Amino acid sequence: MSKSAKKRSNKTAAMKPTNDAAGDVQSPQIGTGSKQSCVIAMLQSADGTTIDAMMKATGWQQHSVRGFLAGVVRKKLKLKLSSTKVDGRRIYRIDQGNAVKASNKSSKRRAA
């Protein structure tokens, strides 16, 4: 088997849904200890967080943090992200009152 074939087979194996003890198939979800859940927890805190703090917590670069905020937090999860400037620093936080969780929304896709 060539290197590229091994890489492809490893990637497809990692993307498959997992089975639990009862045999039910679960879809892949963000783990509780993932970088994404860490950033969301930081954003949900009352004090909010800065881009520098998110970069330090995740090891991501600045453009990756900004992309996560725009693409995942705002668009995919449909959370209301607000930012304020305090003492020359931009503080980001998720507004709790106006937040709509993506898991509560019904999907527009139809079952095959």
Domain range 34-96, CATH architecture: Orthogonal Bundle (1.10)
Note the pLDDT tens digit of each residue in 64-84: 999 999 999 999 999 999 999
Q: Is 92 exposed, middle or buried (0-12, 13-18, 19+ CB in 10 A)?
A: buried
Residue 95 is predicted with a pLDDT of: 86
Question: What are the phi and psi torsion angles at 59 (to 5°)?
Answer: 85, 5
What pLDDT does 26 receive? Answer: 41
Confirm if 41 and 27 have CB atoms less than 8 A apart. no
Could you tell me the residue ranges of all domains in the chain? 34-96
- pLDDT tens for each residue of the chain, 112 residues long: 666 665 555 554 444 444 545 544 443 445 568 999 999 999 999 999 999 999 999 999 999 999 999 999 999 999 999 999 999 999 999 987 654 554 555 556 776 6
- Residue 48 backbone phi and psi in degrees, to 5: 75, -165
Rg over CA atoms, the chain:
18
